[in-house]
Amino acid sequence: MESREFNFKSLVELLISRWKLFVLVALIGALVGVVISLPVIMPPRFKSTAVVYPVNVLTYSDESETEQLLQVFESSSVRDSIIEKFDLYSHYGIERGAPASRYYLLEEYNDRFIVSKTLYESVRLEVYDEDPGLAFAMAQEMLRLVNAKFNHLANERGRNLAGSFKSQMDYQTSVMDSVNAMIRAISTGKGILDYEAQTRELVRGYFESGRGSNAALKKRAEEWLVDLQEEGNAMVALQNVLRLSAERRSEVERNYLFWREYEYRDINYLDEIVSPEISDKKAWPVRWLIVVLSTGSALLLAMVIVALNKSR
């Protein structure tokens, strides 16, 4: 405790004894802060902000809609489209093709395009530029590109899945055509149309003919019963296969039509809660903060130097 009191007293004594020096250092530090924050040295940047919610998004695995939206905002295709459309190499004064030019461009891009998730599961986009109109235009273009990217992803997914279901649907159609052909062959060759109904009628006719004197009718009934015994089971099996194939084809067709819609869907995937605007006030640099930091750093450095000199 005594050591702490001694150090504090020493600090106060140091400040009192060299107050003119520290005032001078503070003034110099503040002046440096003012100078380095001048527009000539630090051109002011303006900010255009947008806040959006994802809607109509098809998620993948356990990823939430907001997380997927963040991924699309940070995708290379969106970034490269912005770079090319606004010629950011020239705009940021970076020579295209020079050593490490891509690295410096991406560093500048990441410093000026900031995407973050809010507490309410929305996504905030902040675009900084020396030209407030350009910051606004780039923010708008990024929102358009993100929405177009979502449409492209949905279209591709719909095209792939619709193609898969179309193949299954065609297969079920070919199965049904084959089964129908076999059923027609049995119906035409043996005259079997409805196995259960025909069997019931033939049995009744057979017994009725047995009570009468029509031997030819009885013989014909016996022949039909033999045909039904030989081909009837096959007909029932084929009809069951046809029914199951028709049910399966109907189910596949519903899926096909669902994903076929996605293949050609062009909808909005972003609900803009805050739309980009042209700012009339700079967002960076914050001059007072730079002056305070510069002054504080200068005073701290001066105190360390004076204390070291005194301790010698």
**Half-sphere exposure in the Cβ direction for 261 (13 Å, CA):** 6
Structure tokens that stand for 117 in this block: 């998730």
pLDDT band at 284 (very low <50, low <70, confident <90, very high): low
Higher pLDDT, 54 or 209: 54
User: Per-domain residue ranges for the chain?
Assistant: 164-263
**Half-sphere exposure in the Cβ direction for 89 (13 Å, CA):** 11
- Segment among 33-37, 108-112, 271-275, 302-306 with least mean pLDDT: 33-37
Highest mean pLDDT among 2-6, 115-119, 301-305: 115-119
In this predicted structure, what is the pLDDT of residue 2? 44
- Segment among 20-34, 178-192, 193-207, 284-298 with least mean pLDDT: 193-207
* pLDDT tens per residue across span 101-150: 999 999 999 999 999 998 888 999 999 998 999 999 999 999 999 999 99
Structure tokens that stand for 112 in this block: 């000026």
> Which residues are registered as beta bridge partners of 84?
none
Question: For residue 259, is pLDDT > 60?
Answer: yes
In this predicted structure, what is the pLDDT of residue 214? 56
Question: For residue 162, is pLDDT > 80?
Answer: yes
User: Taking residues 82-86, what's their average pLDDT?
Assistant: 95
Identify which of 103, 117, 128 has the alpha carbon closest to the alpha carbon of residue 71: 117
Structure tokens that stand for 236 in this block: 């029932």
- 118: which residues sit within 8 A by CB, 6+ positions away? 51, 124
In this predicted structure, what is the pLDDT of residue 5? 46
Structure tokens that stand for 299 in this block: 């005073």
Q: Determine the Cα–Cα distance for residues 259 and 263; give it in Å rounded to an integer.
A: 6
In this predicted structure, what is the pLDDT of residue 164? 92
In this predicted structure, what is the pLDDT of residue 166? 92
Please give the single-letter amino acid code of residue 127. V
Question: For residue 180, is pLDDT > 80?
Answer: yes
In this predicted structure, what is the pLDDT of residue 310? 67
Question: For residue 179, is pLDDT > 70?
Answer: yes
In this predicted structure, what is the pLDDT of residue 217? 53
Of all residues in the chain, what percent carry a pLDDT higher than 70? 75
- Segment among 138-152, 208-222, 253-267 with least mean pLDDT: 208-222
In this predicted structure, what is the pLDDT of residue 70? 92
Please give the single-letter amino acid code of residue 3. S
Question: For residue 257, is pLDDT > 80?
Answer: yes
> Which residues are registered as beta bridge partners of 89?
none
Question: For residue 266, is pLDDT > 70?
Answer: yes
Question: For residue 6, is pLDDT > 50?
Answer: no
User: Taking residues 187-191, what's their average pLDDT?
Assistant: 61
